[in-house]
Amino acid sequence: MKITFRWFGNQDDSVTLDQIRQIPGMDGIVGGLHDIPAGEVWPLDQILALKKEIEEKGLNLEVIESVNVHEDIKLGLPTRDLYINNYQKTIRNLAQAGIKVICYNFMPIFDWTRSELAKELPDGSTALAYEKAKVEEVDPAVLIKMIESSSNGFSMPGWEPERVSKIKRAFELYRDVTEEDLFEHLQYFLEKIIPVAKECDVRMAIHPDDPPWSIFGLPKIVINKENLERIVKLVDSPYNGLTLCSGSLGANPNNDIPDIMRHFSAMGRIPFAHIRNVKIYENGDFTESSHRSSDGSLDIYEIVKALHDTGYTGYIRPDHGRMIWDEQARPGYGLYDRALGIMYILGIWDSLEKVKQSNGIVGSQSLS
């Protein structure tokens, strides 16, 4: 298991590389070129410059999040081949820089949805939250303004200006797109890019829909175990993998996250995992919580154990954290709570390693 930390660059992140490298157990950065619009080729010189900056601090850059998929690809428009060709070039450029995993998603229009970015919790910390009634009643344009005004001055991944500026037209284009259509469009995309990924030894890792159900009538397909199984078989290759996000899938209590982690990890199809917790309420609302199992609705111990038991050697990052200790940062992406999350995850992992070693010693003694 390799511990990583998402970083948005020295011009758009309150957290520094010097701070990140002081977190115990830290292996590397999950980075990206966040100013490159979806569909454009990522220039090799910019990728190498980012890699150099990170490596100078003693960290590695082997995971990219995200290379966004152009909406024309998701919609299956005739122009998609141009953008797929550009995506192939980006994969090749990233491979030249030593990138091993590319996280991406196939969510129509919005990468994620929340009704509030700073919901105050009983202890005074704040966290991202989803209130079903608010989302169902709000105009998407109003939601966009809320996200922008609550971002503490930072860009929000998945809510890039060039994307949301065309939202009305995007909704019109998706009006007749079904989930089956989206599966077909994803398969077309994968059939074009997975051979390039294999050639370059870069593993593609699709991220689940967040939350894992339809919003604003948009189709969603990366939502449960059954659909994940179907997705990895669309192009049955180890290079067609998953970014298994416990918090995204876990917002639906019907998703058994430890079981899903164990199943796909045993298959070798999780090159990258996001671990976070959510507190789910009976009415379908949820609030993001600390990573500790008892603070949310997910059993983080069992999730980590599922990876450990299956010999997981891929990349993990602590996903969204709360804002604590008066930190002012991009919502979900402060330093302190994510660092605490890493220590919780590593504490579980180290304990499991101790048990494994003890059982090995006992076993060897009993055989003598």
Catalytic amino acids? 207, 245, 274, 319-320, 333
How many other C-beta atoms are found inside a 10 Å radius of the C-beta of residue 122? 5
Q: How far is CA 233 from the centre of its chain?
A: 21
H or E element, residue 318 = strand 315-318
Whether the Cβ atoms of residue 197 and residue 235 lie closer than 8 Å to each other: no
Give the burial class of 153: count Cβ atoms within 10 A of its Cβ; 0-12 exposed, 13-18 middle, 19 or more buried: exposed
Report the interhelical angle of 179-200 vs 80-96 (nearest 10°): 30
Torsion of CA 134, 256, 180, 268, to 10 degrees: 130
Which two tokens mark 241? Answer: 């993998």
C-alpha span between 259 and 261 (Å, rounded)? 5
> Does a cis peptide bond (omega within 30 degrees of 0) precede residue 211?
yes
C-alpha span between 57 and 52 (Å, rounded)? 9
Query: H-type helices in 58-211, by residue range?
Result: 71-75, 80-96, 132-137, 140-149, 161-164, 167-173, 179-200
C-alpha span between 212 and 290 (Å, rounded)? 20
Whether the Cβ atoms of residue 45 and residue 70 lie closer than 8 Å to each other: no
Partnered with residue 210 across adjacent β-strands are none
H or E element, residue 345 = helix 336-367
Alpha carbon distances (Å) from 179 to 66, 75, 94, 166, 354: 23, 11, 31, 22, 45
**Residues recorded for the chain:** 368
